[in-house]
Homo-oligomer: A and B are copies of this chain.
Amino acid sequence: MLLPELRKEVLEANLELVRRGLVLYTFGNASGISRKDGLVVIKPSGVPYGKMTPEHLVVTDLEGKTVEGTLRPSSDLPTHVLLYKVFPKIGGVVHTHSEYATAWAQARKPIPAFGTTHADYFHGPVPVTESMTKEEIASEYEKNTGNAIARVFEHIDYSAVPAVLVANHAPFVWGPDVGIAAHNAVVLEAVARMAYLTLSINEKAESIGGDLHDKHYLRKHGSSAYYGQK
């Protein structure tokens, strides 16, 4: 069996999404990539999480062609594959319909950076994609979802803002590996919820200042980080 360790990590990331209440039934999927082998491991489509084992996961190449596995891969595979191509430093991708992040996506509003919880993870607002055209929807829809995401990040650093809201759909989230991608998805949902509450309390709430935003982001990221044990 190919990539047994990556299969375990991808399965564990999928289960973390369930434990944290981010997915209802089968509405979510996580994948990981082995850059060395050019192979992606992804959740199968529509299989209940409770019965999933590493063997059920599907291995594909970077064209989305199945290399190992008898089940059909997640129907969102073409989006994952496209993100691996355009974001060369990422190692994992997660897609959920978590409720608050999805509500922001449906409202077509970026999630403002209202506080340090946001700033610890996302170095700027979490952006929303533009609408897709009729043609983009009709043909290769999932791949074009990835293209819509890629366009948003032409002017944003995808490493510093590892999430996006697909308009009228739901979030995609990534990270250096699939475990971090799932962790980021959980934090995104918490941040989306608190931003919702913040605006409800004060419709004129202002984003966190740049100095404080940088401070918190850089406490956790980069060469001067001093959060955690290393």
Contact = CB atoms under 8 A, between A and B. Distances in A.
Interface of A: 24-25, 27, 44-47, 71-72, 75, 97, 99-100, 102-109, 114-117, 131-132, 134, 137-138, 141, 168-170, 183, 186-187, 190, 193-202, 205-206, 208-209, 211-212, 215, 219, 226-229
Q: How many copies does the complex hold?
A: 4
Contact of A108 (B99, B194, B199, B202): B202
B24 A116 contact: no
Contact of A196 (B45, B138, B197, B215): B197
Contact of A103 (B75, B109, B187, B197): B197
A169 B102 contact: no
Contact of A134 (B25, B206, B211, B227): B211
B190 A99 contact: yes
